[in-house]
Amino acid sequence: MQSGKLRHRVIPQKFVTGQDPETGGTVKNWVNLVQTTPDNGIWAEISPLSAREFIAAQSTQNEITTRITIRRRDDITPQCRILFRGKIYNIEGVLPDPDSGLEYLTLPCSEGVNDG
């Protein structure tokens, strides 16, 4: 993988369930998998692939298909999502690189359909 292609900073998040200390109720929240500072995140390549309009639940919605490539991490799963420039990308799958499976991950993502 050429590191020069990894020119975008993204923040991976995972969905966690916890308990509210005041009410004892269940709290669902997205948490960052990396420490966030203004210049933090992980390096990624973001490539928009296609866009389409479709009818779902009797309303028109947009779905944008994007490919995000990052260095290999063990904590990225299809249940995670990616934040980039204020947009949420839902990970549809996690594909290891075809050569060794140890260098990078390709994440097919959708945006605009749901935010988790």
Checking if the pLDDT of 115 tops 60, the result is no
- Please give the CATH number for the structural domain made up of 3-111: 2.40.10.270
| Residue ranges covered by each domain of the chain | 3-111
Residue 62 has pLDDT above 50, yes or no: yes
- pTM of the predicted structure, to 2 decimals: 0.78
Beta strands in 37-103 (DSSP E): 42-56, 59-71, 81-84, 87-91, 95-96
For 39-59, b where at least 16 C-beta lie within 10 A, e where not — what string? eebbebbbeeeeeeeeeeeee
